[in-house]
Structure 1
Amino acid sequence: MNGPIRVGTVPDLISTVPFELGFTPRESIVVAALSARGRLLVTMRAGIDDLTSRIGGPIAAQIAATLSEAGTATAVAFAYTDAEPVAGGQIDNLAREAWRQLDDVLPVEMASTMVAQVGRTSFAELHGTTLGEVRSVSELTTSVLVAQHVAAGNAPAKSREDLGALPEVSARALEEAREAAAEIARSWARTTPGDLEDWYTHERDLWRDVLAAGGTADVDARTWGRLGETLQYGRMRDEVLALVVEKATGRFMGETYLECTTISSQLMLDPTGPRPDMAELTTCDKVLRTVAAHSTTGNAPALTLAAMGQWWAGTGAGAGVLLDQALAVDPSYRMATILSETLSKAVPPGWARANIDSQRQASTLRREPDRFLSIPDPADLFGMPIYEGDPIEAGNLLEDGVYRGTILDDMDDPDCVERAIVLRIHDGEVDIRDAPTTTTVPGASLPPSADLDSGLGL
C-alpha cells in the first residue's frame, strides 16, 4: 500500500499483518516496527520453532539489526499459533520462549512488548502476562486499514507456501513446451559466433512482446517452452531481468548488453533509484511463473527472476518461497544462491533502503519536540483527563469531534509554557489550534465557528 500506515490499536496492527507479509502467518512471532510517531516501518516474521532451536540466536540477532536499521522506536510482537487463546489464561509457552529469545537481543533504547496471541479463528490481547477477551478474527476484516489495502488491490495468500504457486498446465501443454524448448536448444547449438548477436536480439524481442502483452491467453505452450529454454543462457537471463526493470520503471536500459545489465542492477540497488511500478511487476511476475510452470523438471532461472521481482517489490517472504523452489531444481544455481544470501541478511531493495535511511537520519539529526496534550473530561473538569499524551496519537484513541484542552509544545524546554488549545479530530487526523480568548475553561462547549465543526465534538 502506498504511503505511510498509521496504527493506533492492537486489532489495527493484527489486521494489517497479512497484507504487509503477503500471507497469513502460522506458528510464528511477528514483529511490527513502529516509529516514534506511530508509523508502521517494517513487519518481520520468524517461526516459533526456529527461534526456539539452535539457530534461534542468529535469527533473533538479524531481526534486531534490521529493526535498528529501520529506526524502530517500538517493537510490537504478536504470537500466531494453531492453539486458540483462552481468556484469563497465559500466552502459549513456546511462543513466550520464542519472543524472549528475540526480546533479549533488542537494543535497550527500543521499547518492546508482546501484545496478543492470534489463533486460526480467534485472538486475544495480552495484558501483562494474562490474555484478555477472546474475539473472532472475523472482526479484523472490517478495519479501515483492511479497506485501504483492498482498495489498493492487495490480497494476502492463505499461507506462506501459497506465495510460490504456479499456474496449472495440462500434460499436452507441457509436452508442446518441452518440444519447443528442445528446438531452441538445437538452434542455439547451430548458431555461429557471427550470428549469435542476431539470435539474442530475436529472442529478446520475443520476451519484450510477451511482457508487454502481460502473458495473455494468446501465448501458446510452444512459446512458453521457448522462452523458458532461452533463460538457460546467462546473457539472455540478464537481458530479461533488464526488460523487467525497464517495464517497472519506464526507463530505457541502454543499447548494449553491458549497459542493460549495469543500469538495471543500479536501479534495483541504488537508494536514489525509483520505486518500481507494482502493477507492472505483478505482470512480469505472472509471465515468469507461467514460464516456470511450462517445465516438467522446473526452471531455476525463471523462478529466480520471479524471486528477484518479489524482493524488489519488498515482499521478502514471496522471494524466499520462490528461491526455495529454484534451489530445489538446481542447488548450485549461482544467481539463486546470491539472492538467498541477500535475503538472509535482510538487505532491502534500493528504494526501500532510502526510506529506512531517511527515518534513521530524521531520528539522529533532528530532535522531535516531545509534546504533551491533556484533554479534561467535560463532565468532571477536576477528575481524570479523558486523554493525556502525544497529540498525534489522540487521533487514534479519541472519537471524531472537537475538544478543549492544553498542550505543552516541548516538555524538554524549561521555558516552554502550557497553552490552551482547541483540538479537532476527523477521520483520525488531528488539527490543533489556539483556543479562542473568549473563554479559558478547559472542556467547555465550543461556540459555533466557521473554522470548526462544533457539531462533531463534546
Structure 2
Amino acid sequence: MHPTVVAQFPDPHDPGPGAPPGGVEPAVRVRTTRDLVAAVPALLGYRPQESLTVVCVTGAGTVGLVARVGLDDLAAERAASAGSHPPAALGVRDRLVPAVRGVGTVTLVAVVHSARDRRAVRRVVAPVLDGLDAVCDVDPWHVAPTGYRGLDCEDPSCCPPDGHPTAGLEHGAVNAALVVAGRTVAPSWEEAHRIVRAPEALRSRAARAASRAARAAADRREDAGGGTGTDAVHGPPGSRESRRRTAGLDLWHDLLRHAAVALRAEPGGTPELGPARLGRLAAALADVAVRDAVLLSLIPGADDVARRTAARRPASPVGVARDESAGAGGAESGDVEVATARAIARVVDPRVAVAPDPGTAAAARAVLEQVVAHVPRRWHAPPLTLLGVLAWWQGDGGLAMRRTSAAIEADAQHRLAVLLRGVLAAAVPPGWVRARGVG
C-alpha cells in the first residue's frame, strides 16, 4: 500500500522562477475527457493498479493537481474510521478536498484503475468522490483490464458492459505527445522508482574514489588534532576541514549543472556523471555539514547559507541536522542558524513555503540516484535520505517513504532519516501543500 501521492505539475508555459533555461516542456493539448483518462499513466510516470487517481482541471484549462491513492488504503481507512468517532487523524478526503479547492479546480476527472467489480470499486471510493463533488464537477471513470467506461454510467449504448477497448487509451495522440514531451511510463509504481545498480566496473571505480576521499578526510582530521576537540571535528572558517566541506558542496553544484544540461538534452534520460566524482560526492555527503548544505542548496534563495553551512558547522534549531553535536561559532554561528531557519521555513511553513523548482529537483534526483547506483550500501543513507526529503517536498509521500525506509535499512542510526520517517508517518504535508489547505 502507498500513501496518497500529491504531485504538482507546472504550467508548461510558465515553469516559475529558477527553472533552467530551455527546460520548459512543450504543451500537450487534451481535448476530451477520454484524452485526460489516457494521460493518467504518463502524468504519474507509471501504470497505476488498484488505485484512484484524480486529475484537476483549473479555470485556465490546465492540469493543476494530480493525486493518487491505493484502493486498499481507502478501504483500510474506511474500516478504521467506522470505529473512530471522531476519526483519529485527517483522512484522504479531508486532506484532498482543500487541496483541490486551493488550485482552483473547475472539473475533476477521477480515474479508478482496478480489476475489481465496478460497483464494489464505487463503494470504496464513494466517500472521497462525494466530498470532491461538493467542490467541483466530478467525472468518474473505471479502467479495467477488459476495458474502460464511466464509473456511474448505466447506459449500455454509451458504456458497454465490458467497457470500451483500452487500446483506444494506450495508443492515442495524447499519449504519443506526452512521450515526445519526455513523459515516460513504467509498468508499475515499484519499477518507476527502482534505482538500477550501475555496472560492476563503474561501481568499483566509485567505491575506490569514495574510500580514498574518506581516508583523506580522516587523515586531515587526525593531523588537525587526533580527531578530538571542536575545531578538529567541525573546523573553523578557513580550516582544512572547512575547505574540504566547501569542495564537497562545489562538487555537488558541478554535478547538478551537468545533470541539468543532460536532462534538457534528453528528458527522462540518465546523465553520465562519472563514477569517480560520484564516489567522492558519496564520501562528502557522509559529513552532516555537507549533507545539510546540499539540502539547503535546493531551496530558492539559500545558496549563501548553504555555503556558510559547509564552511562551518552551525547548531541546528530546526532539525535539519542533528547527527553530530554543534560546534562553537559565536555570533557567526547564530547568524547561520537564523538564516538556516528562514530557509527551512520555505519548505515547512505554509505562510512562506514554496514548491521545489521542477528543473532543479529533477537534476538533484538524477545526481542522488546515480550516487546510490554507483557506491556500496554503506554510503547509501545520506543520498537516500536527501531523495526522501526531496520527494516529500514535491508531495510524493509514497516515494518519500520508500527512499526513507531504504536509508534506515542502510543505517538505522541516520537521524535525519528517522526524523523524516516520523513526519511521513504523521502524514504531515510540505508547507506549500498545507498553504492550499491540506493538513
Q: Could you say if the C-alpha distance between residues 52 and 273 of structure 1 is closer, same or farther in structure 2, counting changes exceeding 3 Å?
A: closer
Q: How many residues align?
A: 347
Aligned to 2:66, what secondary structure does the other structure show?
strand
Partner in structure 2 of residue 333 of structure 1: 414
Q: Could you say if the C-alpha distance between residues 242 and 33 of structure 1 is closer, same or farther in structure 2, counting changes exceeding 3 Å?
A: same
Q: Could you say if the C-alpha distance between residues 232 and 308 of structure 1 is closer, same or farther in structure 2, counting changes exceeding 3 Å?
A: same
Which of 21, 33, 48 is the equivalent residue of 2:71?
48
| TM-score normalised according to structure 1 size | 0.62
Partner in structure 2 of residue 61 of structure 1: 91
Deviation at 1:26, TM superposition (A): 0.3
Q: Could you say if the C-alpha distance between residues 254 and 177 of structure 1 is closer, same or farther in structure 2, counting changes exceeding 3 Å?
A: closer
Partner in structure 2 of residue 137 of structure 1: 166
Deviation at 1:238, TM superposition (A): 0.5
Partner in structure 2 of residue 118 of structure 1: 143
Matched, 1:293 2:360: no
| TM-score normalised according to structure 2 size | 0.64
Which of 54, 64, 78 is the equivalent residue of 2:111?
78
Bigger relative contact order (CA 8 A; separation at least 6): 2
User: 2: CA distance between counterparts of 1:261 and 1:205?
Assistant: 19
Structural RMSD (CA)? 4.0
1:96 aligned partner, one-letter code: R
Deviation at 1:160, TM superposition (A): 0.8
Deviation at 1:66, TM superposition (A): 2.5
Deviation at 1:347, TM superposition (A): 4.8
User: 1: CA distance between counterparts of 2:77 and 2:95?
Assistant: 19
Which of 100, 122, 132 is the equivalent residue of 1:96?
122
Matched, 1:3 2:3: no
Deviation at 1:118, TM superposition (A): 0.8
2:373 aligned partner, one-letter code: A
1:183 aligned partner, one-letter code: R
Deviation at 1:286, TM superposition (A): 0.9
Partner in structure 2 of residue 403 of structure 1: none
Aligned to 2:416, what secondary structure does the other structure show?
helix
Q: Is the 8 A contact 1:308 1:339 kept in 2?
A: yes
Matched, 1:15 2:64: no
User: 2: CA distance between counterparts of 1:331 and 1:211?
Assistant: 28
Which of 257, 260, 263 is the equivalent residue of 1:212?
257
Per-residue CA deviation, residues 42-93 of structure 1 (Å, 9 max, x unaligned), is: 332222223223675469813432323431677653321246xxxxxx6163
Structure with higher Rg: it is 1
Matched, 1:225 2:304: no
Aligned to 1:26, what secondary structure does the other structure show?
coil
Q: Could you say if the C-alpha distance between residues 63 and 296 of structure 1 is closer, same or farther in structure 2, counting changes exceeding 3 Å?
A: farther
User: 2: CA distance between counterparts of 1:177 and 1:37?
Assistant: 48
2:98 aligned partner, one-letter code: S
Q: Is the 8 A contact 1:74 1:110 kept in 2?
A: no
Aligned to 1:236, what secondary structure does the other structure show?
helix
Which of 340, 344, 361 is the equivalent residue of 1:265?
344
Partner in structure 2 of residue 304 of structure 1: 385
Q: Could you say if the C-alpha distance between residues 335 and 20 of structure 1 is closer, same or farther in structure 2, counting changes exceeding 3 Å?
A: farther
2:259 aligned partner, one-letter code: G
Q: Is the 8 A contact 1:160 1:317 kept in 2?
A: no
Partner in structure 1 of residue 404 of structure 2: 323
Mind listing any 5+ residue stretches in structure 2 that lack a counterpart? 1-8, 13-27, 82-88, 225-231, 263-270, 310-335
Matched, 1:283 2:340: no
